[in-house]
Structure 1
């Protein structure tokens, strides 16, 4: 649902992305948190020449620098201290399919020349192994404009130029606010099916403030707000409060406790699910349960 709408900002980007998906060239997808980068990456894979191959992801922000090269390109047993078993690596696992490097802006400088070689020559060498031909479609995503990283010396200029050839920046929700009604309708339809609550609607008042709100968390924030409101209300007409006025459960202790109980009941005691519904961490959920004396 992140890409529903008819705004000029959205149409312009989607036209270019559809054409790029049909090529073999690497793609860079830029966008703020919640704009739908992950959803778009998956859509590109499914509409590409590599749709029948594997879909392999690696988050550059989640792998320690010392382990990154071995994780991406693989390593043979004994290639370095602690490498007791062979690891084929993400590139090898993605052969014939799509390799996605999330948060490419966090890619260690030492690994960047090897990624450049992978993209430019379609070749890579596992640690302690032999040169291998890579038949993969490469997609990178970034929260940050890579040109700024280049200026700071944190990203290689030649790699940046390679990725910039087919770069697309996803629009923020506030830049295509005319798409909001369709997005809300689509999300409510999806939530209604998931939670067996057909016929869900949004109140006119809520739609008014939503159209004026800046949505810093973009479509993800919109979906989370609607889902949380649905779980905490029995009314088929949802009337969420603006985030700045209490998008989280009311601060009055008794109301907060009641919301907490309903979320736990809905999640059937699943702490992770209850925390997701409430939009808080598991630790915060545990602290609230302790504070209110809930089992």
Structure 2
């Protein structure tokens, strides 16, 4: 039997349309409420399984006020409207909803969101029951598709568990986290654990595509559609048909293309340049190290696209948030890059790894281990070189005159990464990859910050 849903919406037409979508899909619905007071009365009498809550309602109180009450009651709920005001978004998120839906409502989006919300709520309730039985978290056996992801820290295993939950589902996933935290690796694991595992997994770095070629790269073009289009070309979405497309650095997508991408999510169709619309069957995984809510508030990212991508957000912790995993990761990379006998790390070397902050995260750790393996002599690595440790220590925060400017901090960070990869800028293991930015952008920043002169000086 399907769940019973309560709609809390003060606009009659929108509430009615939403009610029709739910009843046509076989859901039971409660009496529609238009205020917090009425909603609480209906909840008491009709006992809904999930509540759809508009943020702005009639009478006293807002949907956010109701969300706080629902959270205290351990009731599942989803917000119906979203506001680009940063403060409102933060308040809404603090109530722990299971998602947001942007008006106007589309039947497919509503039903997917309900499936996800009810699934997550059931998992949260089961988790709470287990914690009530035991103060210790019970270990969860992860499938083989996640076995190559190294780490046992609480935050990391929680992220893996979320990935395991969403893997078999066909919904979009937004993977969040700093550069170098392994967003592409976990996206690939989600794909391999899905029903699409035998179909293509296509990776697109939105930040690395030239602005004038992004549309062609993503959606393709027909022969003769523009100067230089000497043959038909299939775009990345078409190449991923039946499988999964992973859009890295989604926050770099230009506004004009965000509209077309939204259409892909809504209509499941693409329109090649100079061609006709064509249906595709693609699961979208996206990733960013940007704060998309801040981008929305600044008008650089469409709010409707953000909430359609953000059906299932997955946050990957930085390496400094999971330092207990550093010994495991170091051992993994030592085995990976050692051709003969694998050297062991002496306590001093391991302490140095543990004491460093790793702004470049796992990618920086991997490059550091690889570089030290090349230079190592013997079977024990007594010490380890982390070039970035040559930087001056961070000044005391109580002396305002010792703070560095944003440009100085950026210069230090880029210089540190360049040193860590032996001044390699492009290619695998290069500074551009570690910093997760375009090579041309990095070269431009190096020139602007005067780092190029320092490179010349160090070589002479």
1:165 paired with 2:311, answer: yes
1:77 paired with 2:220, answer: no
1:81 Cα deviation from its structure 2 partner: 2.9
1:240 paired with 2:373, answer: no
Q: State which of 297, 321, 325 in structure 2 corresponds to 1:151.
A: 297
Q: State which of 158, 168, 172 in structure 2 corresponds to 1:22.
A: 168
The secondary structure found in structure 2 opposite 1:184 is helix
The secondary structure found in structure 2 opposite 1:111 is helix
> 1:123-157: per-residue Cα shift (whole Å, max 9, x none)?
12112212211111111111112111111111000
CA distance 1:129–1:166, change in 2 (3 Å):
same
Q: Which has the higher contact order (CA 8 A, sep 6+)?
A: 1
The secondary structure found in structure 2 opposite 1:65 is coil
> 1:197-239: per-residue Cα shift (whole Å, max 9, x none)?
2232111011112222211111111111111111012222122
Gaps of 5+ in 1: 248-274
> 1:136-188: per-residue Cα shift (whole Å, max 9, x none)?
11111111121111111110000000111111121001001111121112221
Q: Is the 8 A contact 1:2 1:183 kept in 2?
A: no
Match of 2:254 in 1: 108
Q: Is the 8 A contact 1:224 1:279 kept in 2?
A: no
1:22 Cα deviation from its structure 2 partner: 1.0
The secondary structure found in structure 2 opposite 1:64 is coil
Q: Is the 8 A contact 1:2 1:35 kept in 2?
A: no
Q: Report the Cα distance in structure 2 between the residues aligned to 1:41 and 1:182, rounded to whole angstroms.
A: 21
Q: Report the Cα distance in structure 2 between the residues aligned to 1:147 and 1:34, rounded to whole angstroms.
A: 21
Q: Is the 8 A contact 2:368 2:421 kept in 1?
A: no
1:218 paired with 2:364, answer: no
1:244 Cα deviation from its structure 2 partner: 4.1
Q: State which of 330, 337, 343 in structure 2 corresponds to 1:184.
A: 330
1:2 Cα deviation from its structure 2 partner: 7.9
Q: Report the Cα distance in structure 1 between the residues aligned to 2:324 and 2:148, rounded to whole angstroms.
A: 13
> 1:95-122: per-residue Cα shift (whole Å, max 9, x none)?
1111111110000111111111111221
The secondary structure found in structure 2 opposite 1:189 is helix
Q: Report the Cα distance in structure 2 between the residues aligned to 1:32 and 1:50, rounded to whole angstroms.
A: 27
Match of 1:255 in 2: none
1:280 paired with 2:424, answer: yes
Q: Report the Cα distance in structure 2 between the residues aligned to 1:186 and 1:44, rounded to whole angstroms.
A: 22
> 1:21-70: per-residue Cα shift (whole Å, max 9, x none)?
11111111111111111211222221111111112122111222222112
Match of 2:352 in 1: 209
1:291 Cα deviation from its structure 2 partner: 5.1
Q: Is the 8 A contact 2:368 2:386 kept in 1?
A: no
Q: Report the Cα distance in structure 2 between the residues aligned to 1:4 and 1:132, rounded to whole angstroms.
A: 40
* TM-score normalised by L of structure 1: 0.81
Gaps of 5+ in 2: 1-146, 392-418, 427-442, 444-451
Q: State which of 77, 91, 97 in structure 1 corresponds to 2:243.
A: 97
Q: Report the Cα distance in structure 2 between the residues aligned to 1:121 and 1:81, rounded to whole angstroms.
A: 29
Match of 1:11 in 2: 157
Q: Is the 8 A contact 2:343 2:380 kept in 1?
A: yes
Q: Is the 8 A contact 1:57 1:99 kept in 2?
A: yes
Match of 1:140 in 2: 286
> 1:71-105: per-residue Cα shift (whole Å, max 9, x none)?
11111112223322111111111111111111100
Match of 1:259 in 2: none
The secondary structure found in structure 2 opposite 1:154 is coil
